Chain A
Amino acid sequence: MYGFLIAVGTLLLLSIIWMVYRIQTLVSVVKGSDKKIASGSNKINALMFVFFLIGATILMFWYSIKEFDNYQLPIASEHGVITDQLFWVTMAVTGVVFIITHILLFWFPYKYQWKEDRVATFYPDNNKLEVLWTIVPAIVLTFLVIGGWRAWSDITAPAPENSHVVEILGYQFAWEVRYPGMDNTLGEHDYRLTSATNVSGVDFTDKNSLDDFMSPVVVIPKGEPVLFKIRARDVLHSVFAPHMRLKMDAVPGMPTRFWFTPTKTTEEMRRETGNDEFVYEIACTEICGRGHNAMRKEIRVVEPDEFRKWMSEQKPYIVNNPSLVEGLPADLKELAEITISEHK
């Protein structure tokens, strides 16, 4: 049915094109305009550029202003304020260039459209101008780059000592979140230890892993530095937390990291946006297969006190699943049992 409609539509379109074509060739032969250098259409085309300029400018400003709150996501991290500022400074600079060059590009065709009695100006070069418009963009770009470079250096600098560590492991098609527990040190891992009960491949012969625990949500404190340690276990993924202005690929065989300081709790953000259901999210931005568009994880930003309370309430892997430590050597097993009993 649809196929039929499309076929009919296409046929119709083609015949219209053909008819328009026939009519206008006949007309232009009668008028003799096919012999002229520039026919009446030249004027219309010249005018069209001006119309396009005006129409497009109005549309662009109208939509950009109307939609501002929709596409400008609220910022929830310290560095995000800086990168967004860079973004808008760049927008201002390039916006001015964009508008000026386009005014010239579309106004010149109107102004200098073909006239029988005019001759174009023979103006092959002017080195002063070339130098000018090499140096001015160079200077402007230098300012933009230096701003970007300083921000980038700060963002990628080593995480502060007191950062809260969270491990995020990407796999087809979900994220696994591991916390280091009270020692703030993640236990070793080995991809060969991966199993249905040990998604992150935690190595429990490392005593740092005994208090490690997983969480279905990424819970982090407001106002304190957080370090995401990022891994992947099958293909590339990429951790993207849009409100945190955070993105970093997850690479099998090569751990990556990104640290940041959240500035607003989920509650605060709910109040600010007037949306009671607001949540921070993590999405995947590196193509990874069938479920690429469904790798969702929630981030919950809470007050530091609440975070500490939450941390102390979590149960390590080995408490939830004591079979994980069954094969351990005696000394470790003892430690493990102590941990387990502490959490009972």
Chain B
Amino acid sequence: MATASVASHSDAAHDHHDHEHHDNFITKYIFSTDHKMIGKQFLVTGIFWAIIGGLLSLIFRLQLGFPDMSLEWLRPILGGWITPDGALDPEFYLALVTMHGTIMVFFVLTAGLSGTFSNFLIPLQIGARDMASGFMNMLSYWFFFVSGVIMFISLFIETGPAGGGWVVYPPLSALEQAIPGSGLGMTLWLIAMTFFIASSLLGGINYITTVINLRTKGMSFSRLPLTIWAFFLTAVIGLLSFPVLFSAALLLVFDRSFGTSFYLSDIYIGGEALPNTGGSPVLYQHLFWFLGHPEVYIVLLPALGITSEVIATNARKPIFGYKAMIISMLGITILSFVVWAHHMFVSGMNPFLGSIFMFLTLIIAIPSAVKVFNYLTTLWRGNLIFTPGMLFSIGLVSFFISGGLTGIFLGNSAIDIQLHDTYFVVAHFHLVMGSASFFGLMAGVYHWFPKMFGRMMDARLGYIHFWATFIGVYLVFFPMHYIGIAGFPRRYYSWTGFEFTNMYTDLNLFVSVAAILTFAAQLIFLFNFFYSMYKGRVATLNPWRSNTLEWTTPLHPQHGNWPGEIPSVYRWPYDYSKPGAAEDYIPQTVPLSATPESNLPHEQELVKLEKEIIADEEAVLVANESTNS
């Protein structure tokens, strides 16, 4: 299967080898079907959304840190959302929180991370000329783009964007009377998310097909880089869970617009009793979290995959426990579908279900722990080079530990009674999901920038960016544990209304200042990113001396990636510092037969098999030569 498609691909490449590509601006930069360009489109769009999402969080952090400050100066942008006495409108506060969450989770860390790196790396690392369907891939980006445009518009409408939290639980999100954001804003949210789901599915189908069908010769599943394993499993999770979100949204649309009662029952609002009976708000929560929990892994797995690759490369050491890493990712993939109700321990669902989900949840902690121990062992006795990518990867592991451990509290239903919907949860998911994935994204950008743009990002600015962000993230999110344990509820506009929360104004102020500084540190990155794109030092072909296939392409790979044949693969991607080898890395394209001095006993046996493959290949080459001349 794989061989056949590779052969046909290489023929095609040979066909248009000689004549020029006729890419104009539009087909090259806008409606591109080249996976590399689509990946970059996702990246730049993701960065745009990260800025918006970050700015929104700064506005509500101003409210929380400086409740008495006059926000009059925001009136030119926010208009009527600033009340006459210069404060933020409470309903707009909720809308900000909602948009911040939606944007960060879906637009930045799902599209910006999976979209960028699955697209960019899958064909390059498995040795394919492009995705299985370039056209679908292009559609995937443009559906995402449209989704973003709609969500963006919703920020500016008069009744404001959706305001029911990123989970948009009905009845709040179903009833316009309950909050103005549940009017047009919510409609736009639902439309935008529908486009987003379509985008994710188109992308996911493509990633899966490509990984299964288009691997180059010799690239068996047991030789795939862990990045590809991660992207592959992420796509599988997305494919299985996003449709459920779609059905949840669809039923919500029915309840909102067509008078059905899937989620609505016994409601008296605005001086009027609604006719709906028999629906269940808890049903929505089940459907939502059936996506919602896997979504956590959709944003996390690619980051972990990137980290595995970056840590191994820069530790100059094989990733420890390659198989164990794959098995734990498989375990996480499967288990991620059976833990969703841990978000619902006190939702009123049957407490017996709570017990079941507590057990399942704590099982999923085990593969996560295995991954951490494997990362640590990979660092052990390595020869570590702290590239910015490496720094961000180590930072990711730290966040993954900190946030993962608090998950053990929250997964325990008895403890969750107190912690649910407090700032403890906010601290937990910002570390384990938000910051960890964000650091994965950053590690990926620093590491593959030379392949994306043929130039290097400045390393020293990268170090400054890393340390400012790493320290900043802890200063922002670690204190939230304390106020969470103290019981501060989340999505609160102000805490002065209660005795038990009428404290920690100093800590909240501190967090807000830290958030502003951390955000400012991202400007260093933005400068570095865009400046280096044009003015950075020109990269060498394999700047990190890495083993994977993408570094065998030319500095600026054209559509099709390799000018000639696609290289074949003879070994796994982690032959770093192999005893006996001359260099501390052996690329996947180096045959075992060429490295007798470093082969392990079982590899020595594979050499014979390999010789046959090489012979085959030469035959193909000779045949091609003769048809060409």
Residues of A within 8 A of B (CB): 1-3, 10, 13-14, 17-18, 20-21, 24-25, 28, 34, 37-39, 41-42, 44-46, 48-49, 52, 56, 60, 63-64, 67, 70-73, 80, 82-84, 86-87, 90-91, 94, 97-98, 101-102, 104-106, 108-109, 112-115, 118-126, 129-130, 133-134, 137-138, 141-142, 144-145, 147-149, 151-153, 155-156, 171-172, 191-192, 194, 201, 233-236, 238, 240, 242-243, 245-249, 251-254, 256, 277-279, 281, 283-294, 296
Contacts and interface: CB of A to CB of B under 8 A. Distances in A.
Interface in B47-94: 73, 76, 90-91, 94
Given A41-B463, A234-B178, A287 B165 contact: yes
A11 B59 CA distance: 20
B499 A277 contact: yes
B278 to A, nearest CB: 8
10 contacts: A14-B527, A24-B460, A41-B459, A42-B385, A70-B504, A124-B321, A130-B321, A130-B374, A236-B172, A288-B178
Contacts of B366: 134, 137-138, 141
B415 interface: yes
A293 B354 contact: no
B417 A236 contact: no
Interface stretch (B24-32, B201-209, B438-446, B481-489): B481-489
A288 B317 CA distance: 52
Interface stretch (B1-9, B116-124, B266-274, B291-299): B266-274
Nearest to A248: B346
A90 B413 CA distance: 13
Contacts of A41: 386, 459-460, 463
Given A122-B577, A235-B175, A242-B487, 5 more contacts: A21-B531, A37-B385, A46-B384, A120-B382, A254-B265
B619 interface: no
B178 A235 contact: yes
B455 to A, nearest CB: 13
Contact of A38 (B179, B321, B385): B385
Interface of B: 73, 76, 90-91, 94, 163-165, 169, 171-172, 175, 178-179, 264-269, 273, 277-282, 315-324, 346-348, 351, 354-355, 358-359, 362-363, 365-366, 369-370, 372-374, 376-377, 379-386, 391, 394, 397-398, 401-402, 405-406, 408-409, 412-415, 417-418, 420-422, 458-461, 463, 467, 470-471, 474, 478, 482-483, 485-487, 489-495, 497-501, 503-504, 520, 523-524, 527-528, 531, 537, 545, 574, 576-579, 584
B90 A279 contact: no
Contact of B413 (A106, A108, A152, A235): A152
A120 B320 contact: no
A243 B501 CA distance: 12
A158 to B, nearest CB: 10
A142 B319 CA distance: 29
Contact of A113 (B384, B471, B503, B579): B384
A285 B461 CA distance: 42
B414 A73 contact: no
Contacts of A52: 470-471
Contacts of B527: 14, 17-18, 21
A171 B394 CA distance: 47
In order of increasing CB-CB distance, the 9 nearest A-B pairs are A253-B265, A156-B351, A2-B73, A242-B487, A256-B348, A148-B412, A151-B414, A45-B386, A120-B577
B412 A90 contact: yes
Nearest to A125: B321
Contacts of B422: 285
B383 A105 contact: no
A31 B577 CA distance: 28
Given A101-B401, A285-B489, A191 B409 contact: no
A137 B418 contact: no
Contact of B461 (A17, A48, A145): A17
A314 B578 CA distance: 84
B66 to A, nearest CB: 12
Contacts of B372: 101
A234 B171 contact: yes
B503 A70 contact: yes
A25 B459 CA distance: 10
A295 B458 CA distance: 52
B498 A281 contact: yes
Contacts of A72: 485-486
A247 B268 contact: no
A283 B486 CA distance: 13
A98 B171 contact: no
Contacts of A141: 362-363, 365-366, 408
Nearest to A286: B421
Contacts of B374: 130
A86 B363 CA distance: 18
Contacts of B474: 56
Nearest to B545: A37
Contacts of A290: 90-91, 94, 179
Contacts of B391: 45
Contact of A98 (B172, B402, B528): B402
A238 B358 contact: no
A153 B504 CA distance: 34
Given A114-B383, A144-B408, A238-B346, A83 B414 contact: yes
B533 to A, nearest CB: 14
B565 to A, nearest CB: 29
A27 B413 CA distance: 57
Nearest to B466: A45
A134 B369 CA distance: 8
Contacts of A137: 365-366, 369-370
Contacts of B73: 1-3
Nearest to A156: B351
Contacts of A125: 320-324
Contact of B178 (A90, A113, A278, A289): A289
B486 A73 contact: yes
B348 A194 contact: no
A246 B369 CA distance: 31
Contacts of A286: 169, 421
Given A245-B418, A252-B171, A109 B412 contact: no
A241 B359 CA distance: 26
Contacts of A277: 499
A68 to B, nearest CB: 10
B483 A71 contact: yes
B354 A156 contact: yes
B405 A98 contact: yes
A283 B386 CA distance: 48
A209 to B, nearest CB: 17
B412 A296 contact: no
B267 A252 contact: yes
A177 B38 CA distance: 58
B383 A118 contact: yes
A90 B321 contact: no
Given A38-B385, A253-B280, A242 B414 contact: no
Given A41-B386, A101-B376, A201-B268, A236 B281 contact: yes
B321 to A, nearest CB: 5
Contact of B379 (A112, A115, A249): A112
A296 B528 CA distance: 49
B563 to A, nearest CB: 28
Contacts of A49: 394
A109 B414 contact: no
A234 B318 CA distance: 57
B369 A133 contact: yes
Contacts of A121: 317, 380-382, 577
A112 B380 contact: yes
A147 B372 CA distance: 25
A238 B278 CA distance: 21
Contacts of A130: 321, 324, 370, 374
B577 A90 contact: no
Contacts of B494: 293
Contacts of B317: 120-123
